[in-house]
């Protein structure tokens, strides 16, 4: 679409140029256009005019002489015209040849460009393949990396470094690709410019054609003049026919060339379309590749971020939990101690009663004082009794020890949580006065 627009623009420009050239030619030739056109029309319309036979008489001879004189004049004029026309045709041919040569060169240059582009595409393809291979290698690495993910952070950093390098390479490839693409686009632009030039040339050709037509018209104008001045003769007509034929030949040649050019144009268009398609496909592939690479990179980044986030969250969670646990532990302990205090007031009298009931007090133990330490198990069974502070009387100490032993199991709270407050305590045995 763009190209078409461009070509239209080119056509416009070409037309302007052509007009300028045209004006110049008109200036050079200096013949009335309007006149020529009328003749041209007539000539073209009355393709073949039959020549009528006339009776010969004196007048006829005189007429014949006048006619001969006229013919001589006409011949001279014709020769001049022919000379002029030949010169013009020669000039035209030369110009056409030059144009054809240039076109040939241009086409060759374009072919060369095309080959270069193909080479560039191939290289690009190769790079792409390499990049693809690298991506696959990176993918492989990433998979392996995933396996090693729990391993050392150093490993992770190293891999990140590798990945970065790969990405750098990829970016390099991308840059190269872009450079190539730019080059290719530049080439395309060049091709377009060449095309524009070609169109201009065509325009010029058209202008030349127009000139030719003008010259034709002038010739015909001369003929017309002559016709107006005198009757047309068969020879004239024949010559005119020949002229017409020649012109037709030129027109045909021009048409053929136009056709050729058109075909060439078509070919060029197709080639460009093909190039465009290839370019688009390449772009698509490149895009896809980039997308994949980007996705892989993004995925990797996301994974890394996720890992870091997870670690951070875990750390935070740990700290929060520890703090929470500490607070809860403190609270629990306080509650427990509170509970233990109230349980003490309930259970101490019971323990006291049970031990006192078991204690056979020595009758002469007044003033004796022993401290025994007891360890119990969670069901209150006495595990150990030790004399923490002796009364000095072995018997008195033993009476207490036995009392504690016999009082086993001691009444303690059923609540196992409170056990820690009850698992070890002391008895103070005081010998009573008799």
Partner 1 sequence: MRKIISILAVIAAGALTSVNLAFAVFTIEIDEGVVRGIPIAIVPFGGDAADQFLRSADRIISDDLTRTGRFDPIGEDQHLSKPTSAEEIRFVDWQLIKADYVLIGRVESVEDRVGNFRIITRLYDSFEQKQVFGVQFIATADQMRVIAHRIANAVFENITGQKSSFESRIVYTTTIPNGASGAAEHVLYVADYDGFGPQVVLRSEYPILSPSWSPDSTQIAYSELRSSGARIYIQTVATGERFEIDTPQGHNSAPSWSPDGQRLAFANLTGGNSDVYIYSLKDNKITRVTNHRLIDTEPSWSPDGKHIVFTSNRGKDPQIYQALARRDAATKRVTLDGRSNTAAQYSPSGDRMVVITDQGRGSQVGIFDFKSRGIQVISSTTLDDSAKFSPHGDMLIHVVEGKDRYIKILSPDGRVQTRIPVADGLVKQVDWEKSPQ
CA 321, distance to chain mean position in Å, is: 47
Q: What would you report as the CA-atom Rg of the chain, rounded to the nearest whole angstrom?
A: 59
The smaller minimum CB distance to partner 1, of residues 123 and 322, is found at 322
Question: What's the closest the beta carbon of residue 130 comes to partner 1, in angstroms?
Answer: 43
Q: Could you give the count of Cα atoms lying within 13 Å of 280 in the half-sphere of its Cβ?
A: 6
According to the binding rule CB under 8 A, does residue 310 interact with partner 1?
Answer: no
Separation between Cα atoms, residue 316 and residue 57, nearest integer Å: 133
From 189, 326, 335, 346, residue interacting with partner 1 (rule: CB under 8 A): 326
According to the binding rule CB under 8 A, does residue 323 interact with partner 1?
Answer: yes
Tell me the three-class secondary structure of 235-272, residue by residue: HHHHHHHHHHHHHHHHHHHHHHHHHHHHHHHHHHHHHH
Structural tokens at position 102 = 């240039």
Residues 6+ apart with CB under 8 A from 317: none
Question: What's the closest the beta carbon of residue 333 comes to partner 1, in angstroms?
Answer: 6
Do 374 and 384 contact (CB within 8 A), yes or no? yes
According to the binding rule CB under 8 A, does residue 308 interact with partner 1?
Answer: no
The smaller minimum CB distance to partner 1, of residues 62 and 360, is found at 360
Among the candidate windows 84-92, 206-214, 281-289, 424-432, which touches partner 1 by CB under 8 A?
424-432
Separation between Cα atoms, residue 213 and residue 198, nearest integer Å: 22
Site for partner 1 in 379-418 (CB under 8 A): 385, 393-396, 398-403, 405-406
Do 355 and 403 contact (CB within 8 A), yes or no? yes
Site for partner 1 in 341-360 (CB under 8 A): 344, 348, 351-352, 355-357, 359-360
Question: What's the closest the beta carbon of residue 145 comes to partner 1, in angstroms?
Answer: 24
> Which one, of 329, 331, 397, lies nearest residue 362 by Cα?
397
Question: What's the closest the beta carbon of residue 427 comes to partner 1, in angstroms?
Answer: 5
Separation between Cα atoms, residue 99 and residue 206, nearest integer Å: 13
From 337, 381, 415, 417, residue interacting with partner 1 (rule: CB under 8 A): 337
> Which one, of 257, 113, 249, 115, lies nearest residue 198 by Cα?
257
According to the binding rule CB under 8 A, does residue 329 interact with partner 1?
Answer: yes
The smaller minimum CB distance to partner 1, of residues 265 and 362, is found at 362
According to the binding rule CB under 8 A, does residue 430 interact with partner 1?
Answer: yes
According to the binding rule CB under 8 A, does residue 203 interact with partner 1?
Answer: no
Among the candidate windows 44-52, 166-174, 183-191, 330-338, which touches partner 1 by CB under 8 A?
330-338
Q: Is the dihedral of CA 52, 53, 59, 61 positive or negative?
A: positive
From 48, 52, 153, 363, residue interacting with partner 1 (rule: CB under 8 A): 363
Separation between Cα atoms, residue 82 and residue 293, nearest integer Å: 74
* Entry field: residues in the chain: 434
Among the candidate windows 119-127, 146-154, 294-302, 321-329, which touches partner 1 by CB under 8 A?
321-329
CA-angle at 359, arms to 358 and 363, nearest 5°: 145
Question: What's the closest the beta carbon of residue 124 comes to partner 1, in angstroms?
Answer: 50
Site for partner 1 in 137-196 (CB under 8 A): none
Among the candidate windows 22-30, 130-138, 204-212, 316-324, which touches partner 1 by CB under 8 A?
316-324
Question: What's the closest the beta carbon of residue 386 comes to partner 1, in angstroms?
Answer: 11
According to the binding rule CB under 8 A, does residue 318 interact with partner 1?
Answer: yes
Structural tokens at position 245 = 């034929």
Question: What's the closest the beta carbon of residue 375 comes to partner 1, in angstroms?
Answer: 11
Structural tokens at position 205 = 């050709």
According to the binding rule CB under 8 A, does residue 377 interact with partner 1?
Answer: no
Q: What is residue 370's DSSP assignment? A: E
Question: What's the closest the beta carbon of residue 425 comes to partner 1, in angstroms?
Answer: 5
* Exposure class string for 202-239: b at 16+ Cβ within 10 A, else e: bbbbbbbbbbbbbbbbbbbbbbbebbeebeebeebbeb
Question: What's the closest the beta carbon of residue 337 comes to partner 1, in angstroms?
Answer: 7
Size of the site for partner 1 (CB under 8 A): 49
- Name the residues that contact partner 1, by CB under 8 A: 315, 318-319, 322-323, 326, 329-330, 333, 337, 340, 344, 348, 351-352, 355-357, 359-364, 371, 373, 385, 393-396, 398-403, 405-406, 421, 424-430, 432, 434
């Amino acid at each position: 679409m763009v190209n078409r627009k461009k070509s239209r623009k080119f056509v416009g420009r070409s037309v302007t140029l052509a007009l300028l050239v045209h004006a110049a030619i008109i200036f050079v030739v200096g013949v009335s256009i309007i006149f020529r056109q009328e003749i041209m029309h007539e000539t073209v319309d009355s393709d073949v005019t039959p020549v009528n036979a006339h009776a010969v008489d004196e007048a006829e001879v005189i007429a014949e002489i006048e006619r001969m004189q006229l013919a001589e004049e006409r011949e001279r004029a014709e020769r001049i015209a022919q000379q002029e026309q030949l010169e013009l045709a020669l000039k035209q041919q030369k110009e056409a040849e030059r144009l054809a040569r240039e076109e040939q060169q241009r086409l060759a240059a374009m072919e060369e460009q095309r080959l270069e582009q193909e080479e560039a595409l191939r290289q690009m393809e190769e790079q792409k393949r390499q990049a693809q291979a690298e991506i696959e290698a990176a993918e492989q690495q990433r998979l392996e990396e995933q396996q090693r993910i729990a391993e050392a952070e150093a490993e992770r950093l190293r891999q990140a470094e590798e990945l970065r390098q790969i990405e750098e390479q990829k970016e390099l490839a991308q840059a190269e690709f872009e450079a190539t693409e730019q080059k290719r686009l530049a080439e395309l632009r060049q091709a377009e410019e060449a095309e524009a030039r070609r169109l201009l040339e065509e325009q010029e050709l058209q202008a030349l054609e127009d000139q030719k037509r003008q010259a034709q018209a002038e010739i015909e104008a001369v003929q017309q003049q002559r016709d107006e001045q005198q009757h047309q003769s068969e020879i004239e007509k024949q010559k005119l026919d020949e002229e017409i034929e020649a012109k037709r030949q030129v027109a045909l040649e021009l048409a053929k060339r136009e056709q050729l050019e058109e075909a060439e144009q078509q070919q060029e268009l197709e080639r460009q379309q093909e190039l465009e398609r290839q370019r688009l496909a390449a772009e698509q592939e490149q895009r896809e590749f980039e997308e994949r690479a980007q996705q892989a990179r993004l995925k990797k980044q996301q994974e890394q971020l996720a890992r870091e986030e997870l670690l951070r969250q875990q750390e935070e969670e740990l700290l929060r939990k520890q703090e929470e646990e500490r607070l809860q532990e403190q609270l629990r302990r306080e509650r427990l101690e509170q509970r233990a205090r109230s349980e003490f007031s309930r259970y101490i009298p019971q323990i006291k009663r049970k031990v006192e009931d078991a204690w056979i007090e020595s009758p002469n133990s007044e003033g004796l004082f022993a401290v025994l330490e007891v360890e119990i198990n969670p069901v209150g069974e006495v595990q150990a009794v030790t004399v923490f502070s002796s009364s000095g009387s072995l018997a008195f100490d033993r009476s207490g020890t036995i009392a504690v032993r016999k009082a086993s199991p001691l009444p303690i709270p059923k609540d196992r949580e409170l056990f820690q407050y009850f698992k070890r305590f002391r008895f103070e045995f005081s010998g009573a006065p008799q």
